[in-house]
Amino acid sequence: MGAADFRVGGRIFATLASQSKGYGNLQLTPEQQADFIGEQPDIFLPVAGGWGRMGMTHIRLALATEDVLAGALHTAWKSRLEKNQKAGTARRADRKNAPAKGKVAAKSSSRKSRK
């Protein structure tokens, strides 16, 4: 079974994927990440590599107070919600031009089964 994750609109904004190392993970913008790390470097640190450069941030669960954790989760949630809302307009336009679902299903169901 995978790690617990937290989603809004089907998209992840936080996970417990690094919980065994004592971390939670937050999806922040790079600017938000810099603010959190600048204010509390003992609690927040970037995830290694490219994910960290894109804003993925570890939070040291043992050191974070309930208020700090709640604030960080709220920030990540709000950021993800705003991204979803911006992308929603584009997704609706894409769906308008997409083929009907019935046609796609008919193509995939016409395959011959292998024995």
Q: Give the model confidence (pLDDT) of 59-112 as tens digits.
A: 999 999 999 999 999 999 999 999 999 988 555 544 554 444 544 333 334 444
pTM of the model: 0.73
DSSP codes, 32-44: HHHHHHHH-TTTE
* Closest CA relative to residue 33, chosen from 4, 16, 53: 53
Q: Give the model confidence (pLDDT) of 9-60 as tens digits.
A: 999 999 999 899 999 999 999 999 999 999 999 999 999 999 999 999 999 9
Distance CA 87, CA 96 (A): 14
Distance CA 54, CA 25 (A): 13
